[in-house]
Structure 1
Amino acid sequence: MSQADVILETRGLTKAFKGFTAVSKVDLRVRRGAIHALIGPNGAGKTTCFNLLTKFHAPSAGTILFNGEDITRERPAQIARKGVIRSFQISAVFPQLTVMENVRVALQRKLGTAYHFWKSKRSLDELNDRAVALLKAVGLEGFADLPAAELAYGRKRALEIATTLAMDPELMLLDEPTQGMGHEDVEVVTALIKQVSAGRTVLMVEHNMSVVSSIAERITVLQRGAILAEGPYEEMTRNPQVMEAYMGTADGEPVQAA
């Protein structure tokens, strides 16, 4: 792919913790407008990679480029303002607020009042139309007045995607978006990710291979912090090392990675 097609690139990205190398010389290129999956077993370095990309950890070595700009030394808030927005493995909503209020809080930065907690709730009313549109996009318009704590788990994940979208991400980093879900919720959230990816780029860590196979255009497989293989799902299923270690048995039947 050409350099113009690359939204995110890492060069030699490395993170060591007291002698243990969690991420080792990772060269990653994410195509603009694609859904790209990062897979591997527990301890492979996937979440550490996300922490490095969003600057929750500082790299020990290497470079991170976003839209061709070196962001290696920038702080998490700066990364977010550039349009790199991340969700987490554990649903991160405000349980005591309603579904609508959760989305309005995420939208509040557009008013320039993100830290003005003493202002009236009425100052957020101008955000209602956008909040309703976001809730419709994730199928939650009928739950707007419900406290977030009362949502089923799959709907909480949908709400988290709505709050992520409220930040106008150019690149969405989704960390285990279907973790802990039943089959029905997995299907709903998978379809939702595909839907909201239109016009933006998604980099996701995901264990569920049925999710990866159905929506990811490219897969990067990590092993002990380093890239083992990279390519489309069909190509990865023909890679003996990947098949044995991560994607199933020798008969080609994919299973959920450990």
Structure 2
Amino acid sequence: MDDIILETAGLTKEFLGFVAVSDVSLRVRRGSIHGLIGPNGAGKTTCFNLLTKFLPPTRGTIRYDGRDITGMKPAQVARLGLVRSFQISAVFPHLSVLENVRLALQRQRGGSFDFWRSETLLRQYDDRARALLDDVGLNGYADLTAGELPYGRKRALEIATTLALDPVMMLLDEPTAGMTHEDVDRIVALVKRVSAGRTVLLVEHNLKVVSGLCDTITVLARGKVLAEGDYASVSRNPEVVTAYLGSEAEGAAAHG
């Protein structure tokens, strides 16, 4: 039997009568890169918010690593190793790149009052912070103010701060959104690299990224699971072509 690290059953979220996520059953294998795709409004980000407990489900259950986390709070699931990186880059723009990662390392250690400690004591995190920056290709940017980083590099910094929390499973919300082709290639290579020994679940709109990264893909449409499988099988599914690829083609034609 497959080793399933994250599983949902009947996951549903309603907002004042509108069903954003409907009866979603998801099974993510440990050590895999699993993609969640679908057209705009399909319920992908709502699903992420449910998995990471930023939203309570209307119905359904969520199990992570054999444990029922349906009623847990975001900080509790993060401490279990289920860590989310947000769609909009979430860094402290006025701190240096190194300080951003160091802050995440302090948080992982659980020292609430480290802000008041001496600079010498805080430097104990620097070697690990620099190693994480090296992992994401930012070793030459350590002393730069985070707000000065180009957009693609900010996303790399965000992934570094996520890695600082020592995740067992990473949830990445549109990691390549708004990027140039060069940045997209860099982030794809980065996700491949940091996925070693971890599980990754990602929401992504760029099908080329999904095809190059994901072992398994779940397609959502109108809040429901439309199809699941590898990229080759999903991309040939007529319902997926109509709901997702068709809408992309229509959009391209409208702008062409």
Range into which the TM-score falls when normalised by the shorter chain:
over 0.9
Question: Structure 1 residue 124: deviation in Å?
Answer: 1.8
Change in 2 beyond 3 A, CA 1:77/1:134: same
- The answer to whether residue 29 in structure 2 is matched with residue 43 in structure 1 is no
Helix, strand or coil for the counterpart of 2:115? coil
Larger helix percent: 2
Helix, strand or coil for the counterpart of 2:26? strand
In structure 2, stretches of 5+ residues that fail to align are none
CA contact (8 A) 2:106 2:114 kept: no
Structure 2 residue corresponding to 1:143, chosen from 141, 144, 147 = 141
Helix, strand or coil for the counterpart of 2:197? coil
Give me the TM-score of the superposition, normalised by structure 2.
Answer: 0.94
CA contact (8 A) 2:192 2:213 kept: yes
In structure 1, stretches of 5+ residues that fail to align are none
CA contact (8 A) 2:108 2:164 kept: no
AA in 1 matched with 2:50: L
Deviations 1:55-90 (A, max 9, x none): 110000000000110000001100100001001111
Structure 2 residue corresponding to 1:134, chosen from 128, 132, 157 = 132
Question: Structure 1 residue 248: deviation in Å?
Answer: 5.4
Aligned to 2:15: 17
Aligned to 1:196: 194
Q: Which runs of 4+ in 1 moved over 2 A?
A: 109-112, 114-123
Aligned to 2:154: 156
Helix, strand or coil for the counterpart of 2:25? strand
Structure 2 residue corresponding to 1:209, chosen from 207, 210, 228 = 207
Give me the TM-score of the superposition, normalised by structure 1.
Answer: 0.93
Question: Structure 1 residue 216: deviation in Å?
Answer: 0.5
Aligned to 2:67: 69
Name the % identity. 66
- 1:1-258 maps to which residues of 2 (within 5 A)? 1-2=1-2, 5-247=3-245
Change in 2 beyond 3 A, CA 1:111/1:120: farther
CA contact (8 A) 1:39 1:207 kept: yes
AA in 1 matched with 2:100: N
Number of positions where the alignment pairs a residue of Structure 1 with one of Structure 2: 249
Query: 1:110 and 1:215 mapped to 2: Cα distance?
Result: 28
Question: Structure 1 residue 91: deviation in Å?
Answer: 0.3
Query: 1:248 and 1:18 mapped to 2: Cα distance?
Result: 30
CA contact (8 A) 2:174 2:202 kept: yes
CA RMSD, 1 decimal = 1.5
